[in-house]
Amino acid sequence: MEPIFSFDTTGDKDMHASEAPQTLQWMDDSATGYLRMIDQTLLPTELRWLDCRDVRTVWEAIRTLRVRGAPAIGIAAAYGVCLGLQPLTLTDPERFLDELDRVIEYLAGSRPTAVNLFWALQRMRLVGAEVAATTESAEWLPALLAEARKIHEEDRAMCRAIGRFGASLLADGVSVLTHCNAGGLATAEYGTALAVFFSAQDQGRRVHVFVDETRPLLQGARLTAWELMQREIPCTLICDSMAGQVMSEGRIQAVITGADRIAANGDTANKIGTYSLAVLAQAHGIPFYVAAPTSTFDLSIDSGDQIPIEQRAAEEITEGFGRLTAPAGVQVYNPAFDVTPARYIHTIITEQGLISPVDAGRIREVIGSGQRDAGL
């Protein structure tokens, strides 16, 4: 698991979008390859690749946020299924399916909130069941890898489409606020919320982005600001608690965030702090947009009350980045996500179009009543 290479990217502004490093790559054309990913815990000061050659490493990478962002988690998990079965010699269909279930359940335990994880794993399970019933054992693992690659490529196309639909909402010269990181680092390529900015830039429109730090792990400061600067999109970093003041000064014309799970009624789970932004945006008459692929919708749950909220370690707040910043032994409450009620969301931007008003009827009209169930 040693990095192939690393280098300091501080001050590097010459990276063109087409040359941006890929968050996730399957190395080798065969099912005997391995998964390479950017270790996002080291950005922005160091760009380092982590080679995942077994399922345990993928699980650890998801759990510790070396890879993060709902779509990227799903893609990584799909490849993780291949790695979990790779060392095994499986010729009996029943044993193959048992081992497939074991690997899938293991990966499903890495993080609870992002629905793309469970959606991708369910796709891998369905493909495994199909090939076990219809093909020879030599085809089972290649078929699973082909599905993982399909998930990867579909996400790339979805992000581009989200960007095109979302860019139509932004006028030239607009100033937008975003939270956490919903860019290429969180997906296959362009991102979700950041895809809107990238696409607007591609179309020749000027966009200025205010970036929340995003406590406690600073994904906005460390990752979003880095991505925007690589694309030479003007951005200003602010602390999360400054958002209301910046809105009151008239500096923000829109808020755009990503999402980790969207219920059937449009209630949306995203990085902690998103709910506060939505309330502030409504108080100031600013449209609040959510950008997410249809794979992030979970129509098996009626509302956000049913979305599981991940609780993270207290040390992320008391000892962020290795330094004690609170009294030892203090009680800590550290939910990783919050839920924004649909009534605060102006529009959800998907690869299939814009959802507005945000309600169960319009959601089913745009994405279809047959949207996948996230359950395993």
Q: So which residues are the catalytic ones? A: 260
The sign of the dihedral angle between the CA atoms of 135, 141, 147, 150 is negative
Indicate the burial class of 208 (C-beta count within 10 angstroms; 0-12, 13-18, 19 or more).
middle
Helix-helix angle 70-85:93-108, to 10 degrees: 140
A 10 A CB-CB count for 95 gives 13
Tokens representing 310? 């991940």
**7 forms bridges with which residues in the sheet?**
47
Cα separation, 88 vs 96, whole angstroms? 9
The separation between the first and the last C-alpha atoms of the chain, rounded to the nearest angstrom, is 30
Cα separation, 82 vs 141, whole angstroms? 7
Best CA proximity match to 31, nearest among 81, 99, 65: 81
Residue 26, phi-psi category: left (phi > 0), alpha (psi -120 to 50), beta (remainder): beta
Indicate the burial class of 349 (C-beta count within 10 angstroms; 0-12, 13-18, 19 or more).
buried
Q: What is the 3-state secondary structure (H, E, C) of 200-269?
A: HHHCCCCEEEEEECCCCCCHHHHHHHHHHHHCCCCEEEECHHHHHHHHHCCCCCEEEECCCEEECCCCEE
Rounded to 5, what percent of the chain is helix, strand, coil? 45, 15, 40
